[in-house]
C-alpha cells in the first residue's frame, strides 16, 4: 500500500506486504519488499513498513522481514537511501538517515535517527548505529557505533571524535556539544577502560540527556562498541 503522492520513476519492483507513507520516491530498478536472503525463510507473510518523504535511489534492495526477527523491516521518514544500497531483513532505519552508495546492511541492523552510513560500508548483522553517528566510506562495521561519533577506517576501524559539525547543523548548542565531547574524552582518550569511564560519567551525574543516552547505549551494546 502506497500513501499519497508517491512516485515510481520506472522499472521499480514493490513486493510482499509493503506499507509506505506519503511522498516517497522510488528510482529505477529499486526492489523494495523482496524476499529476504535468509535460508530459513519459507515464504511467510512478512513485510516492509516505511514512513514519509523518503528517497530510494537506483538499484536499492530492501528485504522484507522474517518471523525470527519480528516480521517487518522498518524505514523511518526523510531518509536518503542512495544507489545500490542493500538493507537486509528485519533491519530498522530511523528518521533523517543517509545511507550512501553501496552501503550494505546485513539482517537485524539498527540505524538510529540522523545517522550517516558512508559509501561501500558493510555492516554486520545485529549491529546498532547510534543517533547522529557518521561512518566514513569503506568502513567495515562489526560492533556497535557510538552515538554522536565520527567512525572511520584508516589502518583499523575506530571512533576518533564526535560529529561536531553534524551536531551543530542539527541545532545542538555549545553546552550540549561540550558535554558530549567530555564524555568522549573519558571513553576514547583517557586511560580508563569502558567500565571505569561509565562509572565516572554516572558519578559525575549532571543533567545532560545526551550523555545519559550515550551511557545507556554502551551498556546495551551486546556486540561491544567501536572505540
Among candidate residues 107, 118, 130, 136, the one labeled active-site is 107
Q: What is the pTM of this model?
A: 0.93
Is 70 an annotated catalytic residue? no
Same structural domain for residues 62 and 153? Answer: yes
pLDDT score recorded for residue 188: 86
The domain that holds 47 is classified in CATH as 2.160.10.10
Q: Which domain holds residue 214?
A: 164-219
Asked if 41 and 63 touch (Cβ cutoff 8 Å), the reply is no
Among candidate residues 52, 90, 113, 210, the one labeled active-site is 90
Is 90 an annotated catalytic residue? yes
Low-confidence spans in the chain with pLDDT less than 70: 154-156
Is 107 an annotated catalytic residue? yes
In the numeric block, the cell 558519578 is attached to 203
Domain assignment of residue 2, yes or no: no
Cβ density class 136-153: b for 16+ within 10 Å, e for less: beebebebbbbbbbbbbb
pLDDT score recorded for residue 206: 73
Domain assignment of residue 29, yes or no: yes
For the chain, how many structural domains are there in total?
2
Asked if 17 and 46 touch (Cβ cutoff 8 Å), the reply is yes
The residue from 116, 136, 162 where one domain ends is 162
The domain that holds 190 is classified in CATH as 1.20.1180.10
Amino acid at each position: 500500500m502506497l500513501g499519497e503522492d508517491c512516485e515510481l520513476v520506472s522499472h521499480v519492483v514493490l513486493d510482499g506486504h509493503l506499507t509506505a507513507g506519503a511522498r516517497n520516491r522510488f528510482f529505477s530498478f529499486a526492489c523494495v519488499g523482496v524476499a529476504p536472503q535468509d535460508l530459513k525463510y519459507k515464504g511467510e507473510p512478512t513485510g516492509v513498513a516505511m514512513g514519509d518523504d523518503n528517497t530510494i535511489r537506483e538499484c536499492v534492495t530492501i528485504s522484507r522481514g522474517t518471523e525470527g526477527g519480528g516480521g517487518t523491516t522498518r524505514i523511518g521518514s526523510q531518509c536518503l537511501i542512495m544507489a545500490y544500497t542493500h538493507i537486509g531483513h528485519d533491519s530498522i532505519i530511523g528518521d533523517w538517515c543517509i545511507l550512501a552508495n553501496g552501503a550494505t546492511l546485513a539482517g537485524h541492523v539498527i540505524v538510529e535517527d540522523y545517522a550517516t552510513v558512508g559509501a561501500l560500508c558493510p555492516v554486520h548483522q545485529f549491529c546498532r548505529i547510534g543517533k547522529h553517528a557518521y561512518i566514513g566510506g569503506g568502513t567495515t562495521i562489526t560492533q556497535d557505533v557510538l552515538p554522536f561519533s565520527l567512525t572511520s577506517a584508516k589502518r583499523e576501524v575506530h571512533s576518533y571524535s564526535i560529529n561536531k559539525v553534524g551536531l551543530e547543523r542539527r541545532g545542538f548548542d555549545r553546552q550540549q556539544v561540550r558535554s558530549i565531547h567530555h564524555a568522549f574524552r573519558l571513553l576514547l582518550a583517557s586511560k580508563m577502560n569502558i567500565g571505569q569511564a561509565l562509572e565516572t560519567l554516572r558519578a559525575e551525574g549532571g543533567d545532560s540527556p545526551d550523555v545519559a543516552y550515550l551511557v545507556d547505549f554502551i551498556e546495551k551494546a551486546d556486540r561491544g562498541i567501536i572505540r
